[in-house]
Chain A
Amino acid sequence: MNVKSKNKKKKQLFNRIYFLLGSIVLVLIFFLLKPDNTLKALEYSVRLFLGIIPVLILVIILMASANFFMTRERITRYIGKSSGLRGYAIAAFSGVISHGPIFAWYPLIGEMVDEGMNIELAAIFLYTRAIKLPLLPILIYYFGLKFVVVWFLWLIIGSFLLGKALGLIMKWRI
């Protein structure tokens, strides 16, 4: 690792710590102004964090597996720029079946993009996460089956269009 790369990593680490400190300061300010509600917010945060621990463990396992099985060549073939429809299908399907908050998946997606994953597919994966299979009964209860079928189909179509649009914009040189 060269000096430039080391400095970049150090800067990133400091930025992360500053962000955390900023969030803590904000919580303290809210606590001074509205202590009861802030405690409720903290309780919610703790529950949220406990809920994402299994997802983080799953992400670590998936990343380790990807490092082991997914060589750069395989990533390029299955989810790379020339992966075609198969790549789109893999990204959309993975997005639909993945669980937990979106931010828990960023490290894995970032690493896959570094290894050659098509950014259009990264956008599709993140977009199709809006389809939550276990929650469909709630959506059907409130909006009806017809709505859910139409909503599902448009989200899939939208994800492909969004991926393409993002790919085109990212190609532009500013």
Chain B
Amino acid sequence: MKSAKTVMNALPLIFGVVLLMGLMRIFISTTWVMNVFKGNIIMDTFIGSFLGSISAGHSMTSYILGGELLKKGVSLVAIVAFIIAWDTIGIVQIPIEVTYLGKRFTLTRNILCFIFSMGIAIAVTLTIWLIS
């Protein structure tokens, strides 16, 4: 069956990505992430997007981590950028994306997602501020 063969062909990449995600999940500690934010909203938003891009794991982890960061006083805009980048950008997964969707698509999409994670974070925070 063609579809099963396509997924089987992807297995070496999937195994590799899963191994890298395991390493990143354990070696990038939540304590380290919490101490990276310094209080400058613009820099923190950029840091949030960057950390979200290189992080890997279940979305729930990013929500919980985001909630804890909010309690610690990190700006909402940085946290939203972090959560959106976590879900939409996959630095570790790039080899699989390149294989199936091409280099140009992958590069363009991930760069745009990085920019949009900051843009949407600003839009969300401003909207909440306006309606509050």
Contacts and interface: CB of A to CB of B under 8 A. Distances in A.
Contacts of B21: 44-45, 48
A147 B100 contact: no
A64 B18 contact: no
Interface in B1-17: 1-4, 6-7, 9-10, 12-17
Q: What's the interface size class on A, roughly? A: 35 or more
A150 B127 contact: yes
A64 B104 CA distance: 27
A12 B101 contact: no
A63 B59 contact: no
B124 interface: yes
Contacts, number: 190
A129 B112 contact: no
A79 to B, nearest CB: 15
A56 interface: yes
Interface in B88-105: 88, 90, 93, 95-97, 99-101, 104-105
B67 A44 contact: no
Contact of B18 (A45, A61, A151): A45
Interface string B107-132: 01100110010011001100110011
B102 to A, nearest CB: 9
A107 B6 contact: yes
Contacts of B14: 49, 52, 56, 103-104
Interface string B57-77: 101100110110010000000
A109 B26 CA distance: 30
B24 to A, nearest CB: 8
A82 interface: no
Nearest to B15: A20
A127 interface: yes
A4 interface: no
A67 B19 contact: no
B22 interface: yes
Contacts of B1: 60, 64
Contacts of A48: 18, 21-22
Given A16-B9, A26-B19, 5 more contacts: A56-B14, A64-B1, A67-B3, A103-B17, A132-B87
Interface of A: 12-13, 15-17, 19-20, 22-24, 26-27, 30, 34, 37-38, 40-45, 48-49, 52, 56, 59-61, 63-64, 66-67, 101-104, 106-107, 109-111, 113, 119, 122-123, 126-127, 129-130, 132, 135, 138-139, 141-143, 146-147, 150-151, 154-155, 157-158, 161-162, 165-166, 169-170
